[in-house]
Structure 1
Amino acid sequence: MQKRQFITMLSGAMLAGVSGLTRAQGAGTPGVTDSEIKIGSTLPLSGPAAGYGAVGKAMSAWFDLVNAEGGVNGRKLKLVLADDGYSPPKTLEQVRRLVEREQVAFIAGQIGSSTGLATRSYLNNAKVPQLFVSSGAATWLDDAAKFPWSMGWLPLYTDEGRILARHILQTRPNAKIAMFYQNDDAGKDVLRGMKEVLAAAGKPLVREESHEVSDPTVDSQIVSMQASGADVLVAWGSPKATLQSLRKAHDIGWRPTIYINPSASSVPMVLTPVGLDKVKGVMSAAFVKDPGDLTWKDDPGFQAWHAFMDKYNKGAAKEYLTVLGACLGQVTVQLLKQCGNDLSRENILRQARRLDMELPMMLPGLRVKTSDARPHPIPDMRIQQFDGTSWKVMSS
C-alpha cells in the first residue's frame, strides 16, 4: 500500500508537469491532420501466437465503424498494425518504425506483456503515449511514476491470480493445486498472485511448470503435473498451449478441475478443437461478456456488438479476442473525444487518465476508470464456467 501511495504522489507530480505544457499543440502532433488521426499498434500476425492478431483486427474494424459515422470530431481514424510475431526485439523494431517512419500520434492496443515492456523505455523517452497495452502485468501500475507515458489495459495478472486462488479455496478447500504458466512477466505475475493467497492459507502448490510461447508442445509439463497428484490445474498459457494442455490432460485420463487464461478461452479457436464435451466445467476469470452466451441475447450492447461484427468484421470469429478488440477501439475513441481539438500528445496522455465509462460488452458492475491515483483501466473480474456450449458467469 505504501508503494502504491508513493507511486500516486510521484505520478501526480510528474503529470502536473506535463499538464503545464502548452495545450494547443494538436496541429503539430505527428500523425494528426485536419482530417485524420494516425494510431499505431503491434501484434502477432504470424508465428505461434498469431491467434492474438484477432484483437488488432477487431480494433481496426471498430475504427471503420466510427469512420463510417463521421470519425471523431471530424477526423477519421487510421490504425497502422505492425506484425511483431510476438518477439520483443521485433516489437521494438516495429514501434520505432511506427513512430519515426509512419509518424503515428500514439501507440494503442499492443498485444503482450514482454512485447509491450520491450518498447516502454523507448516510448517514454520519446514522450509518445503507449496506451491500453493488452497486458495486466503489475509493472504497468507499480511503475507508472517511472514510465508515465505508458498504460496497461487488462486486469492486473496478480489480481487475477488472487481471484483464482480465492475461488479454489472457497470451492475446494482441500485441493491439491498445480499451476502451468507462460514463462514471461504475465504468467509470473499470475503465479505470484496465486502463491500470495495460497501461502496465507498454508497451501503451497504441489507442482508448478512453465512454458515458452515458442514451445512446440507442452505434453511433458502436463504429464509431470498429473504425476504430482494435483486435482486442480491452473493452466495459464497462450491459446496454443492451452489447447494442447486441455487435449493432453483428457488424452491421459487426467480429470482435474481446470482454470484457464481468459485470453485463451475462445470457444471456436481453443475449446472447439479440443472437443466441447471434453472441456465442460472448465473455468476462467472474465471481465467481458461471452458472445456465445445467450443469457445476453436481449442486452442492447450484446446485440450492437453482433451487428458490428456482421457488418465490419465479417468472417472473424465471435469470441473473446474480438470482443477485446472492439473494447479497445471503443475506449480509444472515447479518449479522443475527450481530447476535443487538443490532440497534443500531452493531452492524449492526460485524457487517458480521466476515463470513467461503461463498455457495452463488459460484465455488469464493471467499468473502465482511470485517474492519476490509479492509471490502470480495469480493476476487477468475475469467475465464469464453460457449460459445454458457452461461458456462464458464476454467482459470487
Structure 2
Amino acid sequence: MTSVTTSRRTFIGGMSAVALSGSAAFAQKKYDNGATDAEIKIGHAGPYSGPASAYGVIGKTIEAYWKSVNDAGGINGRKVNFITLDDGYNPAKTVEVVRQLVEQEKVLCLFNTLGTPSNTAIQKYMNQKKVPQLYVATGASKWGKPKEFPWTMGYQPDYHTEGAIYAKHMLANVKDAKVGILMQNDDFGKDYVEGFKDGLGKDNAKMIVKLATYEVTDPTVDSQVIQLKDSGANVFLNISTPKFAAQAIRKAADIGWKPAHYLTNVSASIAAVMKPAGYENSQGIITAYYLIDPLDKQFVDLPEVKTWTAWMDKYMAQANKGDANYVYGYTVSYLMHETLKKCGDTLTHENVMKQATNFQKFRVPMLLPGITVSTSPTDFYPIQSVQLATFKNEGWALFGNVMSAEGS
C-alpha cells in the first residue's frame, strides 16, 4: 500500500495495574482487531487542513478526552490508543486514510469521522468490512439506516429534521416569505434543502425563489449572496460550513440585505463563525441548538458545566471556550467512552455495535437540559431533539421548547 503523508497523533499507554472485575460480564475476554488486554485502538479522520479546518478542533478535543481517560486509568484497565489522521475534507483522501486505519492500524472502530461527503465515501467500505463507523460528525439522515448500513451510526440531530423545523418556524413567523437558499453542493446541502421543502409542504414550495450553490473549493460565496439578495428574498437559509457561513453573514451585511436568517447548527460556533462575521452583523440569526453554551449565564453554575470548564482548563487550557466545537467533541467522546465501558471484556466489532444501539434516555453531560440519547437496533439516531436559539449581543439566546422529531 502506498505511504500516506498525513498528520498523525497517537496516545499509547502501557498495561494498567487496575484489576479487572470478577463479575460474569468480565469473566471471558473476546477481542477483534484493535483490542488487547492492554489497549483499545480507535481510528479517526478529520479536516485539520482544507476548507473545513475550523472543525479540526473537534479532533483535538477528542484527543484530549482520551488522554484524560488514560490519565485516569483507561477503560476497564485498558489505555486508549487514538489515531487521528488529516483528510483535508477531501473524500478521496478520507478513503485513503481510512483504509490505512482499518487495514494497517487495524482499529477496533472508526469514531466521529467528520463530513457528509467524507463519510459517504467510506460508508460502503466500512459496512463491507463490518467495522463500526460510529457517531459520525455529520447530521445527514443517511446515517440512520440500519437495514442498509448496520455498521454506521450518526450522533447529532439530523439535517433533514433541522431543515423542516426552520421551515415550520418561518411559516409561522414570516409574512409573505420569499426564500433564498445558499447550499453547499453535496449531500450535506441537499439533506437540509429536502428537509426544508418537506417542512414547507407542496403548497408552499413556490416560496423558494432562489437556490445558489457553492463548491467547497470556491474561495468565497460573495457572488451567491448578491444573487440571493437580488432575487427579492426576505428569508435566508444559510446551509454552509463555518468558513462560508461567516463570509455569507458578513457579505449580507455589507450589501444591506437584512432577511430573516436561518443558520445551520453545524456553523453556529461563536468563535469560528459569529465573531469573524461580526457580532453586529449576526444579530437575530436563528439556529437549532442541542448543546449547552458554557458561557451562557443560565448554565454556568450547573455541576456538569463546572466539570467541563475544569476539564478544559486542565487539558485544553489555550482553547476558546466560546467555540461550540469543543463542547461537541467532549459530548460525543463521553458517549463513545460509555459505549466502550459497556463492552466489558468483549471488545468485538459486533459487541461495540450492540452496546451503541442500546441506550435509553441516557444523559450526556453538556447536552441541553431535556435532551438525552436513545438508540435501538432499529433506531440509529442518538439525538433527536433541539431547541431554537437566536443570536443576541454576543451569544445564543434559547427560546421556545425542546422539540423532538423522528430522524427518518
When the two structures are superposed, what TM-score results if normalisation uses the length of structure 2? 0.88
Distance 1:158 1:184 in 2: 14
Q: Alpha-carbon deviations, 1:68-111, whole Å to 9, x = none?
A: 22111111112111110001111011000001111211101110
Give the Å deviation of 1:201: 4.9
| Letter matched to residue 186 of structure 2 | D
* Residue 257 of structure 2 is aligned to residue 257 of structure 1: no
Query: Which gives a bigger RCO, structure 1 or 2 (Cα 8 Å, sep 6+)?
Result: 1
Q: Is the 8 A contact 1:24 1:342 kept in 2?
A: no
Trace 1:220-299 onto structure 2 (pairs within 5 A): 220-299=223-302
* Residue 117 of structure 2 is aligned to residue 111 of structure 1: no
Distance 2:397 2:250 in 1: 22
Trace 1:144-159 onto structure 2 (pairs within 5 A): 144-159=146-161
Trace 1:339-358 onto structure 2 (pairs within 5 A): 339-356=343-360, 357-358=362-363
* Residue 51 of structure 2 is aligned to residue 41 of structure 1: no
Distance 1:103 1:313 in 2: 29
Q: Alpha-carbon deviations, 1:202-257, whole Å to 9, x = none?
A: 25311111111221010111000001111110111010000110110001111112
Q: Alpha-carbon deviations, 1:87-140, whole Å to 9, x = none?
A: 111101100000111121110111011101111111111111110001111111
Q: Is the 8 A contact 2:160 2:191 kept in 1?
A: yes
Q: Structure 1 pair 95/54, CA: closer, same or farther in 2 (3 Å)? A: same
Q: Alpha-carbon deviations, 1:248-289, whole Å to 9, x = none?
A: 000111111211121211112211122112211111111111
How many matched pairs?
A: 373
Structure 2 match to 1:12: none
Structure 2 match to 1:175: 177
Aligned equivalent of 1:374, options 356, 371, 379: 379
Q: Is the 8 A contact 1:109 1:132 kept in 2?
A: yes
Return structure 1 stretches of 4+ with deviation > 4 angstroms: 23-27
Give the Å deviation of 1:53: 1.0
Give the Å deviation of 1:144: 2.0
Q: Is the 8 A contact 1:107 1:130 kept in 2?
A: yes
Percent identity for Structure 1 against Structure 2: 40
Distance 1:226 1:126 in 2: 47
Distance 1:349 1:173 in 2: 47
Give the Å deviation of 1:24: 9.1
Distance 1:284 1:45 in 2: 25
Structure 2 match to 1:4: none
* Residue 170 of structure 2 is aligned to residue 165 of structure 1: no
Q: Secondary structure at the match of 1:354?
A: coil
When the two structures are superposed, what TM-score results if normalisation uses the length of structure 1? 0.91
Structure 2 match to 1:324: 328
Q: Is the 8 A contact 1:41 1:110 kept in 2?
A: yes
Q: Structure 1 pair 177/64, CA: closer, same or farther in 2 (3 Å)? A: same
Q: Is the 8 A contact 1:60 1:329 kept in 2?
A: no
Gaps in structure 1 of 5+ consecutive residues: 1-22
Distance 1:202 1:282 in 2: 22
Structure 2 match to 1:198: 200
Q: Structure 1 residues 39-48 or 192-201, which shifts more?
A: 192-201
| Letter matched to residue 183 of structure 1 | N
Q: Root-mean-square deviation (CA), in Å? A: 1.5
Structure 2 match to 1:16: none
Distance 1:130 1:27 in 2: 20
Q: Alpha-carbon deviations, 1:122-175, whole Å to 9, x = none?
A: 11111111100011111112x321110111112111101101111111221432
Structure 2 match to 1:133: 136
Q: Secondary structure at the match of 1:294?
A: coil
Return the structure number with greater helix share.
1
